[in-house]
Amino acid sequence: MSLLSYYNYWIAIVLMMVGLYVVMSHANLVKKMIGLNVFQVAVFMLFISLGKVRGGTAPILDPAFTTYSHPLPHVLILTAIVVGVATTALGLALAVRIHEAYGTTEEQDALKRDDAESGAR
């Protein structure tokens, strides 16, 4: 088998690197949230790819089928999607609150303003 036959793993790895790069390179909090979501989707793709068995069917007992795909990774990813949506909503709500308090979503600008306000007291 060639390396290109594992394209789903390569896509997951590339998406992980892109998401990590966005998180590390941008100071904007909303862009960091987007990078975290890209990384999260890459992890989802990786786990779902690991759970699929070539030629496997759903785990329904039937004498006609002998090879089954494992359902646990798919169930875990469904739970992770719900948790991911909730944490994204919380993160974006915090970004909105930070923007209301500091007038910016840039991390360094908010920290500078916070330092200036705490130093003036």
pLDDT in tens, 49-88: 888 777 777 778 778 888 888 888 888 999 999 999 999 9
Q: What are phi and psi for residue 65, nearest 5 degrees?
A: -115, 140
Domain count, the chain: 1
Q: What are phi and psi for residue 49, nearest 5 degrees?
A: -65, -35
Per the structure, the complete domain to which residue 64 belongs is given by 3-120
How far apart CA 118 and CA 121 sit, in angstroms, is 6
pLDDT band of 121, cuts 50, 70, 90: low
Mean pLDDT confidence for 19-43: 96
CATH no. for residue 59? 1.10.287.3510
Rounded to the nearest integer, the mean pLDDT of the chain is 89
Whole-structure pTM value: 0.82
Percent residues over pLDDT 70 in the chain: 98
How far apart CA 73 and CA 58 sit, in angstroms, is 13
